Amino acid sequence: MKLTFLGTGTSQGVPVIGCQCEVCHSTDRRDRRLRTSAMVEIGSKRVIIDAGPDFRYQMLREGVRHIDAILLTHEHKDHTGGIDDVRAFNFVDYPTIHTMHIYANEPTIRAVRHDFAYAFSENKYAGVPEIELHTIDESRSFDIDGIDIIPIVGKHSERFRSVGFRLGALAYLTDMNYLAPSEEAKLNGIDTLVINALRWQRHSSHYSVSEALELIERVAPRQAFITHMSHHIGLHSQLESRLPRGVYPAYDGLRVEIDD
């Protein structure tokens, strides 16, 4: 299995528009963070987790020509805003049309239907995205072309929840600040954990660094990567020196091989 971090920034990305802080003016490419997204490759299958506003550029940067499915963690625009660009994959082999399969929970599916209504209308105009939506049952695993996926439901805020995913030895969690014990138990035995950590200070809808490290310590994966980081987390070079052994700040373009 191969994991590629397509984006590791928060909803505003890094640098933040108009910001004069040292992180936003860093010349270290690891401090330039697009909106959070990842690509998982298992054999010939390729699954994307979240398709935010930077989706088009992320696909171009990685030279991606086909996708088998997209998993959406939740309905916020920094995770769904790029869905229109799946039409490039629909028509890459025209006249053959490749339907894009998108999997998400019911609130997220509802938001996608609303935000991209033109793709689901009865009288679609030429060139709109060809999408098939799949509503997942958050309490049960599901299968994509032989890949078993376990949903892991976390609290994003009092109003929202976010769904993480376990694919074999990998678990990917973003936009959360609490996991119930029953959901945390789904992480038992994983090799690699990806978890959001917005900043050092506590936040109402995301794990802080210390909270993420507490969860990592309980789960005890072989390795863990922090993602969905804001500019308030500091410079990448300083952050990596402050993390314990086996825990790393992810960065855009990082590729990780995972034995499954």
Predicted local confidence at residue 125, as pLDDT: 86
- Residue 88: the pLDDT is 97
* pLDDT per residue as tens digits for the range 177-197: 999 999 999 999 999 999 999
**Tens of pLDDT along 213-230?**
999 999 999 999 999 999
Confirm if 255 and 224 have CB atoms less than 8 A apart.
no
- Place 126 in a pLDDT band, splitting at 50, 70 and 90: confident
Matching residue, tokens 């960065």: 251
Q: Tell me, what's the pLDDT at 183?
A: 98
**Continuous segment of H or E residues that includes residue 102:** strand 100-104
The DSSP element (H or E) to which 242 belongs, if any, is helix 236-242
Res. 260: pLDDT tops 80: no
**Residue 252 CB neighbour total at 10 angstroms:** 25
How far apart are the C-alpha atoms of 97 and 87, rounded to whole Å? 9
pLDDT for residue 165 = 98
Percent of the chain with pLDDT over 70: 100
pTM of this prediction? 0.97
